[in-house]
Amino acid sequence: MSMELLFLIKGVILGFSIAAPVGPIGVLCIRRTLASGMANGFLSGFGAASADAVYGCIAAFGITAISTLLLDNRFYLHVFGGLFLLYLGVYTFRAVPSETAAAAAGKGLLGAYTSAFFLTLTNPTTIMSFVAVFAGLGIGAAAGNFWLAGFMVFGVFVGSLLWWLLLSSVVNALRANIKQHHLKIVNQCSGVIIFGFGVLSLFSL
């Protein structure tokens, strides 16, 4: 097995593992899949995977200026992320389930992607996780192995996407058995959980 393929596989496993724990994005993906269809839920995950890839690139290729800027301002980013989670929790709790699935195009899908992307991006400490991983494996800017680092970053992105595809597919398969009043309960439970993540985020400061 070539080194490139080995690091690609390692990246896929790492990306899948990072995405799998159910946090606010996971809850958001489940709720949006149930409310608006698989495309909406998957694009929420796609946004999170994109943000992970951005941080993976910063860590792997040693983009020091950006990394320093984000880490120096992590308090404000953390506050913004926490407040956004509070808003999202209230909005989700109060959301009235639609009688029909949202159209799989336009503002809804773009909003699903961008909101998840920026929500994930407001957690700059993720950079440190990637820095530790790349340093531990002896690749990245410090070791000068940009080629292998690129394969691993791509693997992280693919692994994260695989998780979101799996999650949105499974939830979408169950969606046909969920009625209107069930969706309202899902919205309320999701709102409380997301709001709770926001409170924890702010208290962790």
| Predicted local distance difference test score (pLDDT) of residue 42 | 93
User: b vs e for 153-178, b when ≥16 Cβ sit within 10 Å of the residue's Cβ?
Assistant: bbbbbbbbbbbbbebbeebbeebeee
| Predicted local distance difference test score (pLDDT) of residue 19 | 81
Q: What is the mean pLDDT of residues 54-78?
A: 73
Q: What is the mean pLDDT of residues 154-170?
A: 91
- Report DSSP state, residue 145: B
Predicted TM-score (pTM) of this structure: 0.76
Query: In the chain, pLDDT over 70 holds for what percent of residues?
Result: 77
**Is residue 166 pLDDT above 60, yes or no?**
yes
Which amino acid type is present at position 40? N
Tokens representing 204 are 């962790």
Higher pLDDT: 200 or 49? It is 49
How confident is residue 157, by pLDDT bands cut at 50, 70 and 90? very high
Helices (H), the chain: 3-19, 24-36, 38-60, 64-72, 74-94, 107-121, 126-136, 146-175, 180-203
Q: State how many domains the chain has.
A: 1
Q: What is the mean pLDDT of residues 124-140?
A: 65
106 lies in which domain range? 3-203
Q: What is the mean pLDDT of residues 79-89?
A: 82
How confident is residue 34, by pLDDT bands cut at 50, 70 and 90? confident
Q: What is the mean pLDDT of the chain?
A: 78
**Is residue 142 pLDDT above 50, yes or no?**
no
| Predicted local distance difference test score (pLDDT) of residue 104 | 39
